[in-house]
Chain A
């Protein structure tokens, strides 16, 4: 589903990625782990075509550089810290729905799935960090993209916010959502992903490690959660 080959990125003369390669199969959940500055976020930015890299990256067989629209239509993205300007909660959902050519009213209904239905008309800037991240997740789910890229989505959340957020992501995993999660939180990685790609100073530090099967099913999915 995702192919990354020899991703290299340099910004302002600094080498950020020095040849990162990995694959993600359909339905697989992969964690990108490593210390701060190891290149986790940069790999996700390469997959989204946000930075000028060399190498090859494709999502669903579509080259993210040559076919950016076809590649990104298959991706939902949750950044470390979501920003929605002065918008009301329902607006980014409706905007993305129209861009993706799906029903805007149905997209706004995703607010219910992330527990924000009562806040649809409120300004996002009045939301807590956890609410903003849940909104970002709802936006990422518009159009049901087969791949979710989560870039340390819980970095700015408190314990309750993290639990709520990852319960929702866990339910998505339960239905076989392909996932790439950049994180340095062991608990998230343990509960949500099948496999780890460890990065260190812009390189894959060790061969991708498989995790025991018993650990790959998230807690929420074991509780019988369906699609949020």
Chain B
């Protein structure tokens, strides 16, 4: 009798553990999927009817032993890449992923060319005698004042 109870409790504990594990995996996946009814929410956050249907779908498929990737593929097949909160890197999304770096590089190039041009201008044309005199006068003036 004691053995039976122990075995029963063991099974219950295992089931509970598996349940908790499934909950965690489902919750993590639900954070990755966009609710298409209220587009700025994940299906985990949304109370829309569709979101709860999709949560049910996620849980059922994980419980059937499908991998996370398989569930995501299922959703993308039906709703497109838009359902993913993290868009995949592919030819149509290169601009989205690499555009900011492109802008950064363009900015750096522009800055470098400007600096080089300014330096070249300074080297080409030495200050005129008049300008030097004015600069000297300003410096002298500055020395006397304090």
A in complex with B: no
